[in-house]
């Protein structure tokens, strides 16, 4: 038996004030009527999770496995990391006398960013260390430093706001002195390399150290693949050795190519026990405070993804990584709806997909790795405890 595990980013809302109370999602309601409902707290009750942490917990890991955003983004962009690598998220910026005039450099075009990437990688050189830079979308990118004795305990060079000075990287402890010094040399060299460009500096933030973690397969005895557009989600999957292919036209927003994603999910079925499918758009609209947008995104998912999944998978789990209520424009601790559907899952009396209804479901309230453990049993892959 095979399971599709659908993660709708930012799915949850404020119960009783939810857009889900106002809409009828035809296919998702079919899952609700023929399956079991519940609530899922990915990281635990009362906690407001970031998406990266939330996914790590969905996969059955916890905070001690967390490596920071930098390495996850780097993995998501296809950089093969080694244990001890330090990775940052980066922004191309426009600076004058070290004052940041625009920390997105006018959201430069991808082709231009790629030209600058080439220049940086050709010219940047720190003796004894390998430095890898990769531009991603517009001004964004990642930088990786590889070598002995590096530390993630350093401050950002990104001041986080326009009009402030580009920061000097400082060590947070004695052991990080050398790393901070290397980062400052890198920043200086990049300024020289980019002299005269519209984007004449690279701001670094979110340093993280790549760690070796037990693979998802070793941990759960399940083979899995992740279908996602956004690099962060591919990165979290790759971090725990879940395969995440790059999918044509999968953009991580409402214009994402759902046809290709569905096709990729169905293709992934043969080789895997669990296929995770990440859908980002509802979270984006939640952050924008756009209730109508969130509704539209859910309707599109219902129409273009869910039916195809129902036709192809025996067990379907649908939930979110956290709530992003449109009223709050941020992640929150509110409950996230959970549906599980399939012969081995069973049925309950819940008929409509919304937070209030899900709270009455027979799965109750699940947290953290409890959900993946259930999935394992629903696809007949569990191991008995005792004899």
Which residue's CB atom is positioned nearest to Zn ion? 51
Give whichever of 7 and 201 is closer to Zn ion, judged by the CB atom.
7
Give whichever of 56 and 203 is closer to Zn ion, judged by the CB atom.
56
Angle, CA of 295, 53 and 28, to the nearest 5°: 30
CB of 281 to Zn ion, least distance (A): 11
CB of 338 to Zn ion, least distance (A): 15
Residue 150: HSE in the Cβ half-sphere, 13 Å Cα cutoff: 24
CB of 120 to Zn ion, least distance (A): 30
3-class DSSP state of 282:
helix
CB of 61 to Zn ion, least distance (A): 16
Spatial strand order in the sheet of 243-244: 243-244, 224-227, 274-279, 3-8, 315-319, 336-341, 36-41, 364-367
> What residues line the site for Zn ion (CB under 5 A)?
9, 51, 283, 321
- DSSP states along 290-352: -HHHHHHHHHHHIIIIIHHHHTT-SEEEEE-SSB--TTTTS-BS--EEEEEESTTT---S--S
CB of 10 to Zn ion, least distance (A): 5
CB of 42 to Zn ion, least distance (A): 9
Give whichever of 70 and 282 is closer to Zn ion, judged by the CB atom.
282
First vs last C-alpha separation in the chain? 24
Give whichever of 52 and 85 is closer to Zn ion, judged by the CB atom.
52
Give whichever of 29 and 319 is closer to Zn ion, judged by the CB atom.
319
Give whichever of 8 and 154 is closer to Zn ion, judged by the CB atom.
8
CB of 70 to Zn ion, least distance (A): 18
Q: Is the dihedral of CA 322, 346, 20, 228 positive or negative?
A: positive
Give whichever of 204 and 232 is closer to Zn ion, judged by the CB atom.
232
CB of 55 to Zn ion, least distance (A): 8
Supply 137's token pair.
Answer: 């979308």
Q: What angle, 0 to 180 degrees and rounded to 10, lies between the N-to-C axes of helices 281-288 and 291-301? A: 170
Which one, of 372, 363, 361, 342, lies nearest residue 31 by Cα?
A: 342
Strand extents, DSSP E, the chain: 3-8, 36-41, 86-96, 99-102, 130-135, 140-146, 201-209, 224-227, 243-244, 274-279, 315-319, 336-341, 364-367
Give whichever of 103 and 280 is closer to Zn ion, judged by the CB atom.
280
């Amino acid at each position: 038996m095979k399971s599709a595990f659908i993660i709708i980013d930012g799915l949850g809302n404020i119960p009783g004030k939810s857009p889900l109370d106002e809409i009828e999602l035809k296919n998702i309601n079919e899952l609700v009527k023929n399956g079991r409902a519940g609530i899922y707290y990915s990281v635990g009750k009362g906690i407001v999770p970031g998406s990266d942490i939330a996914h790590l917990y969905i996969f059955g890991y916890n905070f001690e496995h967390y490596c920071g955003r930098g390495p996850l983004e780097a993995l998501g962009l296809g950089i093969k990391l080694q244990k001890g690598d330090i990775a940052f998220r980066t922004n191309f910026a426009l600076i004058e006398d070290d004052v940041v005039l625009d920390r997105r450099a006018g959201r430069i075009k991808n082709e231009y960013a790629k030209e600058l990437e080439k220049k940086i990688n050709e010219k940047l050189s720190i003796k004894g260390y390998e430095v890898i830079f990769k531009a991603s979308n517009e001004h964004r990118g990642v930088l990786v430093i590889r070598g002995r004795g590096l530390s993630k305990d350093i401050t950002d060079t990104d001041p986080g706001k326009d009009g402030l000075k580009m920061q000097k990287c400082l060590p947070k402890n004695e052991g990080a002195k050398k790393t901070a010094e290397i980062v400052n040399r890198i920043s200086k060299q990049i300024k020289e390399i980019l002299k005269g460009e519209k984007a004449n500096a690279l701001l670094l933030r979110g340093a993280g150290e790549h760690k070796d973690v037990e693979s998802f397969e070793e941990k759960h005895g399940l083979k899995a693949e992740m279908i996602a557009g956004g690099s962060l989600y591919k990165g979290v999957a790759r971090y725990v050795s879940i395969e995440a292919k790059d999918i044509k036209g999968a953009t991580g927003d409402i214009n994402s190519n759902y046809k290709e994603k569905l096709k990729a999910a169905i293709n992934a079925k043969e080789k895997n026990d669990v296929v995770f499918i990440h859908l980002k758009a509802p979270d984006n609209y939640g952050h924008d405070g756009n209730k109508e947008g969130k509704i539209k995104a859910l309707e599109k998912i219902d129409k273009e993804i869910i039916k195809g999944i129902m036709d192809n998978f025996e067990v379907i789990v649908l939930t979110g990584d956290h709530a992003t209520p449109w009223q709050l424009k941020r992640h929150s601790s509110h409950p996230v709806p959970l549906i599980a559907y399939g012969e081995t899952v069973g049925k309950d009396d819940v008929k409509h997909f919304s937070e209030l209804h899900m709270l009455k479901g027979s799965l109750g309230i699940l947290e953290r790795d409890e959900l993946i453990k259930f999935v394992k049993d629903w696809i007949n892959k569990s191991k008995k405890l005792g004899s």
